[in-house]
Amino acid sequence: MTRPTESVVDGSGARQDQGATARTPARPQDLPAVDRLLRQPAAAALLAEHGHTLVAGEARTLLDGLRTQALAGALEAAAVQPATLAAALEERVQARLAPRMRRVLNLTGTVIHTNLGRALLANAALAHVAAMMAGPNSLEYDLDSGGRGDRDSVVEELLCTLTGAEAATVVNNNAAAVLLTIAALARGKEVIVSRGELVEIGGAFRMPDVMASAGATLVEVGTTNRTHPKDYAQAITPRTGLLMKVHTSNYAVQGFTASVDEAEIARIAHQYGLPMATDLGSGALIDMTAWDLPAEPTPQQKIAAGCDVVTFSGDKLLGGPQAGLIVGRKDVIAQIRKFPMKRALRMSKLPLAALEATLRLYLRPERLAQDLPTLRLLTRPAGELQALAARLQPAVAAAVAPRFTVAVADMLGQIGSGSLPVARLPSAGLAIAPAQKKGAGRALDALAAALRAMPLPVIGRIADDRLWLDLRGLERPAEFTDQLPMLQAALRGQPDTTCHETA
């Protein structure tokens, strides 16, 4: 860190006569030294609150930047006024302390949005995490015997009750669950998968690559659209370690298709003394059709069908924290649990506490649509959203006028995160359109940027020359409407063509 000009600056330079410096640019020697800036009352208050390290560091960086501007003759005299400098310092300190991960309002219409953190945790889960993390807990301690316990036992019994499986173990996420399952059961062996199920989930999770990472050899059978039982049977050799089915969660194969169901693949596998695993991805723990939502396979169905292992995510339809759940036959789960890679993929106590509390909600299915935010959002009736849109429309219209017009609109949302890919959720919200056709794209970008720049950023979706705000994700409307004056000010302050794309 260099402070080249400070000895020259130290002095009364900063107290220039304002009248004389108003038009001329500030000179480097007009800037105070760091210590002098820190003696400003406002800066002293910052020091008292945040300590010397942070505040002095930011003061140094601030003054270095201003000095560079002054040397270039590009610094306005007003910028070196003590009050201005103190305000700039406070802004820098606050910006440095501001978290990068921020709460946002998800008005995209996609309920389980991977980029926006997937499932929202239930209050019960939030409370349990807070309570368990505030002190020591029985993570790996058996309170009955006073001896060492296993962290899996926090949720194993619950998972067995809910899925009908004999045993269960958990890891960081479902990608880890699939990797571990394949590695533990088929490292150095062959794994048979249908060509119609070689999925890419996104974010570099491709079944063939996972297979390679796990040290197994993928044996593809059947064709993209049709795979038959005999395809599996004929591919089995002494090198085979596992038969696997992958739920095609983010796409659908339609038309002239045939696939082999789990029960049939499991029967073939067991004929040859081999295990059979299925990766469900989303893993709804309840029959979604009971809430008029599209059907999604459940782990309990797959266990009942004879699968030895079923893997699924914790933060998709299950509505819990990021987690990979592995349920199945006792001996197979034991083999997976003792595989060394398990230790590297093990779940932290934080999500484990959230997972336990989330799973407990499933013991009271009648209350689930109230208690579990994911299900609560998915089951909000379109009529309720239409009424909400009608109620918000006037205030939003006033805030974005005259550059935009606002209409109440029916929309089609989606569940998200690869769950039920073709299903659409009838929804409603506000469609905001630029008043003028000319420059409409830029106007929409500017509007989206202004929405993102609010204290609680609002994330919508641009399509068909409109910005769509699907209200399914808005449970507390005041969180949006309270910010409308800020949105209005931001739009008024913006020249028509600028687009503030700050990341």
- Residue 175 near ligand PLP by CB under 6 A: yes
Provide the residue type at 224 as one letter.
Answer: T
Count other C-beta atoms under 10 Å from residue 332's C-beta: 22
Using CB under 6 A, which of 29, 313, 414, 483 touches ligand PLP?
313
194 and 244 Cβ atoms separated by less than 8 Å: no
Using CB under 6 A, which of 220, 279, 296, 371 touches ligand PLP?
279
Using CB under 6 A as the binding rule, the residues of this chain from 154 to 173 that contact ligand PLP are 173
Least spacing, CB of residue 314 vs ligand PLP, in Å: 7
- Residue 296 near ligand PLP by CB under 6 A: no
Q: Alpha carbon of 149 to those of 332, 359, 439: distances in Å?
A: 20, 20, 64
Task: Identify which of residues 241 and 418 has a Cβ nearer to ligand PLP in the complex.
Answer: 418
- Residue 399 near ligand PLP by CB under 6 A: no
Q: Please report which residue ranges of 72-107 form alpha helices under DSSP H.
A: 82-97
Task: Identify which of residues 178 and 385 has a Cβ nearer to ligand PLP in the complex.
Answer: 178
Using CB under 6 A as the binding rule, the residues of this chain from 318 to 347 that contact ligand PLP are 324
φ/ψ (deg, to 5) at 167: -150, 165
Least spacing, CB of residue 438 vs ligand PLP, in Å: 43
- Residue 205 near ligand PLP by CB under 6 A: yes
Task: Identify which of residues 33 and 277 has a Cβ nearer to ligand PLP in the complex.
Answer: 277
371 and 128 Cβ atoms separated by less than 8 Å: no
- Angle of helix 123-133 relative to helix 349-361, nearest 10 degrees, comes to 140
Long-range contact pairs involving 409-415 (C-beta distance under 8 Å, separation at least 24): 409/468, 410/382, 410/386, 411/109, 411/468, 411/470, 412/109, 413/109, 413/110, 413/111, 413/470, 413/472, 414/109, 414/110, 414/111, 415/110, 415/111, 415/112, 415/293, 415/294, 415/317, 415/378
- Residue 247 near ligand PLP by CB under 6 A: yes
Structure tokens at 386: 């239409």
DSSP 167-209: EEEEESSHHHHHHHHHHHHHTTSEEEEEGGG--B-STT-BHHH
- Residue 386 near ligand PLP by CB under 6 A: no
Task: Identify which of residues 32 and 299 has a Cβ nearer to ligand PLP in the complex.
Answer: 299
Nearest to 434 by CA among 442, 423, 422: 442
Structure tokens at 450: 């202004």
Least spacing, CB of residue 123 vs ligand PLP, in Å: 23
Phi-psi region of 258 (alpha: psi -120 to 50; beta: other; left: phi over 0): beta
Give ∠ CA 443-433-482 in degrees, rounded to 5. Answer: 85
Using CB under 6 A, which of 32, 418, 429, 473 touches ligand PLP?
418
Least spacing, CB of residue 242 vs ligand PLP, in Å: 16
Task: Identify which of residues 29 and 313 has a Cβ nearer to ligand PLP in the complex.
Answer: 313
219 and 267 Cβ atoms separated by less than 8 Å: no
Pairing relation of β-strands 217-221 and 167-171?
A: unpaired
Span of 243-251, 420-428, 442-450, 489-497 interacting with ligand PLP by CB under 6 A: 243-251
- Residue 182 near ligand PLP by CB under 6 A: no
Quick note: the x/- pattern for ligand PLP over 70-109, rule CB under 6 A, is: ----------------------------------------
Span of 241-249, 327-335, 370-378, 466-474 interacting with ligand PLP by CB under 6 A: 241-249
Using CB under 6 A, which of 201, 243, 361, 459 touches ligand PLP?
201
Task: Identify which of residues 6 and 308 has a Cβ nearer to ligand PLP in the complex.
Answer: 308
> Which residue of the chain is nearest ligand PLP when measured via CB?
281
Task: Identify which of residues 13 and 283 has a Cβ nearer to ligand PLP in the complex.
Answer: 283
59 and 43 Cβ atoms separated by less than 8 Å: yes
Beta bridge partners of 311: 279, 326
Using CB under 6 A, which of 281, 319, 321, 413 touches ligand PLP?
281
Task: Identify which of residues 181 and 300 has a Cβ nearer to ligand PLP in the complex.
Answer: 181
What lies within 8 Å, CB to CB, of 197 at 6+ separation is 207, 245, 246, 247, 248, 259
CA atoms of 454 and 490, how far apart (whole Å): 9
Using CB under 6 A, which of 81, 110, 169, 174 touches ligand PLP?
174
CA atoms of 119 and 369, how far apart (whole Å): 14
Task: Identify which of residues 13 and 281 has a Cβ nearer to ligand PLP in the complex.
Answer: 281
Task: Identify which of residues 341 and 486 has a Cβ nearer to ligand PLP in the complex.
Answer: 341
Task: Identify which of residues 205 and 339 has a Cβ nearer to ligand PLP in the complex.
Answer: 205
Least spacing, CB of residue 399 vs ligand PLP, in Å: 37
**Interface ranges with ligand PLP (CB under 6 A):** 173-175, 178, 199, 201, 205, 246-247, 249, 279, 281-282, 313, 324, 418
